[in-house]
Amino acid sequence: MSYVTSWERFAREEGLHEGEARALLRLLEAKFGPPPAALAERVRAAPLEQLDAWLTRILTAERIEQVFDPS
């Protein structure tokens, strides 16, 4: 059993977060065109759980607003 330091865990989580944010931004651009700068910044600052929800919503969203505000 290997020991994972808190720094290694943090680096993994940061890498996962960055990857999901980049994937969402790529999908947004492919589906709706380039997102506004403020929206791109919102994506980069969002917690991982929120990114997961947005990545799921983009599959069925017909408008970019539906990804970020499902109501």
pLDDT 10s digits, 12-60: 666 778 899 999 999 999 999 999 999 999 999 999 999 999 999 999 9
| The pLDDT value given to residue 14 | 67
| The pLDDT value given to residue 71 | 67
Within 10 A of 1 (CB to CB), how many other CB atoms are there? 3
Question: Is 48 within 8 Å of 13 (Cβ atoms)?
Answer: yes
| The pLDDT value given to residue 57 | 96
Q: pTM score, two decimals?
A: 0.80
Alpha helices for the chain (secondary structure H): 6-32, 37-45, 48-57, 64-68
The span from the CA of 48 to the CA of 25, in Å, is: 14
Average pLDDT over residues 4-17: 69
The residue that leads in pLDDT, 6 or 59, is: 59
- For the chain, what are the domain ranges? 6-68
